Amino acid sequence: MQYSSFPKRYLHTTIGFMKKTPHNLKGKTTSDQKWLVRQLNDPYVKASRVHNYRCRSAFKLLEIVDKYSILKPGDNVIDCGAAPGAWSQIAVQRVNSAGANAELPRGTVVGIDLLNIAPLDGAHFLSSHDVTDPVTHARLQELLPNAKADVILSDMAPNASGFKDMDHEKLITMCLSLVDLSEKILQPGGSLVCKYWDGFLAHTLQNRLSAVFESVRSLKPKASRKESAEKYFLGKMYKKIK
């Protein structure tokens, strides 16, 4: 099923004037109350329940993979910052790693997170692992066929400190470590999708990506909240340089 037209087909146009307010807000902080109201009225949260996705971010990845044709049956995929597992759910479906379609090649999905990730058929999870740690890279190479990946996905984000520039810099550093990981593990022609928070170092990351990928574009999926600085870089056609 293609989801690129998801907002038109699934979103309720009357949501604006039917805004719901949660019960039992007593004792909650103002920011908790705002979060609850936003969750209750978010069409992507509702749609995630309908489609059984572990969280709404599934729709960000669906938009990217449908529009830019990444994740094919048989692909070997690394999902960085995978918890709770919605991106891995999409990857499993698209690369056929659970073998749902016996006629198509069967891919591999390896998800990594500092947190625990509940098991998912078709995915191998490295819970309590840091993506930037060389020990994790060695485990990845053991788990991937021929120690190589076709696609690296990253929705990773550090815990926000509230200091915008500092958080931005921290996430860019994490993304730069993914370029190093690509150089170790990505097949020539492979792709990388990585989340970043926009800011003064975005160009540094873009330049580094452009040195190793034939095409690099910055994306803001519809499911990504407008008020968020969150964006994604998509690098396609990894060029093996060494």
Ligand X SMILES: C[S@@+](CC[C@H](N)C(=O)[O-])C[C@H]1O[C@@H](n2cnc3c(N)ncnc32)[C@H](O)[C@@H]1O
Active site residues: 195
110 vs 188: CA distance, rounded Å: 19
**C-beta atoms surrounding 185 within 10 Å:** 18
Q: How far apart are CA 180 and CA 158, in angstroms?
A: 18
> Segment near ligand X (CB under 6 A), from 36-44, 108-116, 181-189, 229-237?
108-116
Stretch near ligand X under the rule CB under 6 A, chosen from 3-11, 14-22, 49-57, 202-210: 49-57
Number of residues that bind ligand X (CB under 6 A): 22
Closest CB to ligand X among 40 and 160? 160
Compute the Cα dihedral for 43, 46, 50, 52 and give only its sign: positive
Single residue of 7, 43, 73, 84 touching ligand X by CB under 6 A: 84
SS3 for 70?
coil
Longest dimension (CA), the chain: 60
Q: How far apart are CA 61 and CA 57, in angstroms?
A: 7
Q: Are 73 and 122 in contact (CB under 8 A)?
A: no
Q: Residue 75 or 230: which CB sits closer to ligand X?
A: 230
- Which listed range, 44-52, 91-99, 109-117, 208-216, lies at the site for ligand X (CB under 6 A)? 109-117
Q: State the minimum distance, in angstroms, from the CB of residue 20 to ligand X.
A: 24
Which of 47, 77, 78, 86 touches ligand X by CB under 6 A? 86
The yes or no reply on residue 44 touching ligand X (CB under 6 A) is no
For ligand X, the binding residues (CB under 6 A) are 54-55, 57-58, 81-87, 112-115, 130-132, 155-158
